[in-house]
Chain A
């Protein structure tokens, strides 16, 4: 069953604008990972944020994590047409003692369209 829920389901912006995608989840997690997928191809790993981290940056990407609200956001700054893709959050659920259960649970994704 899906744990993560991305919001919005679809987002259309102009090149140069910022894109923000949100993800909510239900259970305790070890970490949360964001992925990009172009047209049904493989998933490209973007960033991993651990449960004890609040914010992480990688190039034009900024990810935040709020474990009290069980939510995360992905911000892509200065979007480019090449950023057009589906973006997924994937949670790594943890056991009660904190260890990883070993499987990722994905949301249904946000489809981002960046117009030139």
Chain B
């Protein structure tokens, strides 16, 4: 069975631009969560979506937003990019809270 698919794998953007990252969960999974990984802060939780509803949000500024579609695919958007947004963005899917969360390969975002 196909795993979690994230696109694109790599992105280079300029400060001030915006970016949209995409995540397709494992078939049958209705929960999608997003995480940011940086060398300094490690892995930090961004959002949790279930059946198109954001159920939980991490401590990130409003420039970070997301959504989930009826087919459970999810997108996250970062507006007005800053150098500090350079990171590996990881998406995880699961059947729901309290179950195994499976991660995609991530999108490596570099802001220059």
Query: Which residues on A are within 8 Å of B, measured CB to CB?
Result: 2, 30-31, 33, 35, 40-45, 48, 88, 90, 92, 99-109
Contact = CB atoms under 8 A, between A and B. Distances in A.
B25 interface: no
Nearest to A42: B105
B90 interface: yes
Nearest to A103: B45
Contacts of A102: 31, 33, 48, 50, 55-56, 97
B88 A45 contact: no
A103 B88 contact: no
B85 to A, nearest CB: 16
Contacts of B108: 40
A90 B105 CA distance: 17
B48 A103 contact: yes
B42 A109 contact: yes
Contacts of B104: 42
B43 interface: yes
Contact of A48 (B31, B43, B100): B100
B84 interface: no
Given A30-B97, A103-B58, 9 more contacts: A33-B100, A40-B37, A42-B90, A45-B102, A48-B99, A102-B55, A103-B48, A105-B45, A106-B44
